[in-house]
Amino acid sequence: MSAAAEVHASDGHDDHGGDHHELGFWQKYIFSTDHKTIGIQYGITALLFLAFGFYLMMVMRWSIAYPHEPLPGWMSWFLSDEWKSRWLQDGKVTGETYNMFGAMHGTIMVFLGIVPLGFAAFGNFVTPLQIGAIDMAFPKLNMVSYWLYFLGGLVMCGSFFVESGAAKSGWTNYSPLAGFADSQIVNQLLAGQTQWLLGMVFLISSSLLGAVNFLTTIINLRARGLTWMRLPFFVWAMLVTGFLLLLAFPPLEVAAIMQLMDRTTGSSFFMPSGLYSKTAGLLEASGSGSPLLYQHLFWFLGHPEVYVLLLPAIACVAEIIPTNTRKPLWGYKSMVYGVIVLGFLSFIVWAHHMYLTGMGPVVSNFFQTTTVLISIPSVILLTSMLISLWGGSIRFNLPMLWAAAFIPMFGIGGLTGLPLAFNLVDLHLHDTYYVIGHFHYVVAPGVLFGLFAGIYHWYPKITGRHMNTFLGHLHFWPSLIFMNLLFFPMLVQGMAGFHRRWYNGGDAYLMEKAEGANIFGNTVAEWLWLNPVMSWAAWLLAASQIPFFINFWSSIWFGKKIKNDNPWDATTLEWATPTPPPHGNFTFDVNVYRGPYEYSREDHEGDFYPQWEEPKRDEPADEPAEKPVS
């Protein structure tokens, strides 16, 4: 048969480990080329960054809820007096600090937290297992990806401690705002804005290498018999995500390089003529640059990036639902085609982030149309998962809880996005908390819930032990409540017109004549009482993550041991490996005989029929095992 068989045959014996020398600590845990170790490295690093990003947000929420009070000790005791005297005014969060934290919160959450957790960690650990591969196609490249990511993260976060502070021009880093910020620093390498860009170049390079690796692995290392339509949906989602990263990130790299040029060589790609700032005076540059060009290049990545965040979460949920409803995933094929169409469309909707820039109606109409179109595949995905629940005898274990919560939460996130697709509505809503609420509904209770589901689901495969159920519930229910308490009021405030960038919680709306701030001033003022509500929800949400961290670390040693290698009675290939999977993953020659979600088949005893289980002689074969794919 194919060469794969030979390699696997020569490779997949029990004595496999014997003919390799033992790797030292450094090679085994730090500079490992094993996709599972790298996945775990990504996961833990990303969780730490998520926690850091969350902290930044808590400080911001303080500034919004209590703008006149000093930051309380429990949020600032570990900061040095020198740092505090530079960045806090009488202990209060200043506008500059708020901007810095805001910009870094966005950047860290998106680029250092969720993408590495969803795509890199789960993708790395689960994908090769699910396709029956022994490792990624390019293991060394995989290691380089991780370390580039780590380096990028360090450079970015290190900038909190330089004199200029970290980047402070929003996570989008729009020029000319970003061009002016920190421009007073003589040695630009020590300016936070520049370090943000450098970090970005590292992160992008890491993502590009990762994407090449993932795609090659999925295309070329599938096990024998694992045809395209037998791939678990998880793998499909990773495939599409890989393409998004591969083709959407380079324009951002271009934007980052051009902005780096603006900062270090004095060019003015993004700096228009005649710019004047109070601190720097008239801009001494050639001018005539185009801030719009930056926005185009940024959002060409920015929009696909949303799907890069989202798809891994949907992927996790799509694995967990059939496993716990003991039913096949409803509409598997339409989900696959849906996700491919979604991936393609996500490349041509980017300018709906830019309606406010005054683009011409031709382009605007084009983007409105594509944006509305993209809701179709999204709805297909969500509906399929919803219908998959119908008539199932659902096991409400921890992963399933999160997965079940994901569906309505992401639903709210998606539906609140529809009004923003239309230019006219967006003009009002764009700079308000409505957009923040919408986006966070997608990413926090949406994506993060999906990823938590994934963590609870695959934890037994990684460690051989279950996570504690009680602590899991203690994590889930408060998280669900506080997430909604945190983000739903944002939609309300936003529709009232509350501006999204005000660091002091909208003090301007409370002036004698509130309409002086904005025509919606009085309306907004009525809703300002929600500020402390949301802030407290945010801090309690942080507290609700404590059980998770305890659970995550303690279960490694104290969790309930799993009964066998396939504790959830699942059908996909990752459950066919020993636990935890050894170097080389599989102990037998992997052959796939059927689709990924063969639950409760009437012609088969037992309620699940794993992909790797050889059919009995009298059973009819499902479909031809080998099918040329291209």
- Site for other proteins, residues 374 to 433, rule: CB under 8 A: none
Distance of closest approach, residue 205 Cβ to other proteins, in angstroms: 10
Distance of closest approach, residue 127 Cβ to other proteins, in angstroms: 14
Contact 294, 174 (CB under 8 A): yes
Distance of closest approach, residue 584 Cβ to other proteins, in angstroms: 5
Pick the piece of the chain touching other proteins (CB under 8 A) from 151-159, 194-202, 327-335, 361-369: 361-369
Q: Tell whether residue 499 is a contact of other proteins (CB under 8 A).
A: no
What residues between 302 and 341 interact with other proteins by CB under 8 A? none
3-state SS assignment for residue 93 = strand
Residue with Cβ nearer other proteins (4 or 309): 4
3-state SS assignment for residue 561 = strand
Q: Tell whether residue 548 is a contact of other proteins (CB under 8 A).
A: no
Residue with Cβ nearer other proteins (476 or 498): 498
Residue with Cβ nearer other proteins (90 or 605): 90
Residue with Cβ nearer other proteins (304 or 413): 304
Residue with Cβ nearer other proteins (269 or 439): 269
Q: Tell whether residue 13 is a contact of other proteins (CB under 8 A).
A: no
N residues, the chain: 630
Cα–Cα distance between 390 and 413 in angstroms, integer? Answer: 22
Kindly state the number of chain residues that form the binding site for other proteins, as judged by CB under 8 A: 96
Cα–Cα distance between 483 and 490 in angstroms, integer? Answer: 11
Distance of closest approach, residue 42 Cβ to other proteins, in angstroms: 20
Cα–Cα distance between 63 and 502 in angstroms, integer? Answer: 10
Structure tokens at 88: 């806090």
Closest of 230, 177, 52, 217 to residue 623, by C-alpha: 230
E strand or H helix that includes residue 394: none
Residue with Cβ nearer other proteins (109 or 524): 524
- Cis peptide upstream of residue 478 (ω within 30 degrees of 0): no
How does DSSP assign 4-70, residue by residue? HHHHHHHH-SGGGGGGSPPPPHIIIIIS---HHHHHHHHHHHHHHHHHHHHHHHHHHHHHHH-TTSP
E strand or H helix that includes residue 145: helix 139-158
CA torsion, ordered 300, 302, 304, 310, to nearest 10 deg? 180
Distance of closest approach, residue 95 Cβ to other proteins, in angstroms: 16
What residues between 507 and 546 interact with other proteins by CB under 8 A? 507, 510, 532
Q: Tell whether residue 365 is a contact of other proteins (CB under 8 A).
A: no
Backbone angles phi, psi at 591, to 5 degrees: -135, 135
Among residues 62, 234, 269, 575, the one that binds other proteins under rule CB under 8 A: 269
Alpha carbons within 13 angstroms on the beta-carbon side of residue 322 total: 29
CA torsion, ordered 295, 297, 299, 300, to nearest 10 deg? 150
Cα–Cα distance between 510 and 506 in angstroms, integer? Answer: 7
Q: In sequence order, what E strands does 164-313 have?
A: 276-277, 281-282
Distance of closest approach, residue 34 Cβ to other proteins, in angstroms: 9
Cα–Cα distance between 123 and 25 in angstroms, integer? Answer: 24
Distance of closest approach, residue 246 Cβ to other proteins, in angstroms: 5
Residue with Cβ nearer other proteins (22 or 82): 82
What residues between 569 and 628 interact with other proteins by CB under 8 A? 583-584, 626-628
CA angle (477 as vertex; 379, 62 as ends), nearest 5 = 95
Distance of closest approach, residue 470 Cβ to other proteins, in angstroms: 36
Among residues 174, 180, 337, 366, the one that binds other proteins under rule CB under 8 A: 366
Among residues 56, 129, 143, 215, the one that binds other proteins under rule CB under 8 A: 215
Instruction: Determine the residue type at 596.
Output: P
Q: Tell whether residue 469 is a contact of other proteins (CB under 8 A).
A: no
Contact 104, 156 (CB under 8 A): yes
Residue with Cβ nearer other proteins (174 or 366): 366
Distance of closest approach, residue 348 Cβ to other proteins, in angstroms: 6
Q: Tell whether residue 90 is a contact of other proteins (CB under 8 A).
A: yes
What residues between 98 and 137 interact with other proteins by CB under 8 A? 134-137
Among residues 58, 156, 254, 398, the one that binds other proteins under rule CB under 8 A: 254
Taking CA atoms, 10 is separated from 5, 15, 115, in Å, by 8, 11, 36
Distance of closest approach, residue 548 Cβ to other proteins, in angstroms: 32
Q: Tell whether residue 273 is a contact of other proteins (CB under 8 A).
A: yes
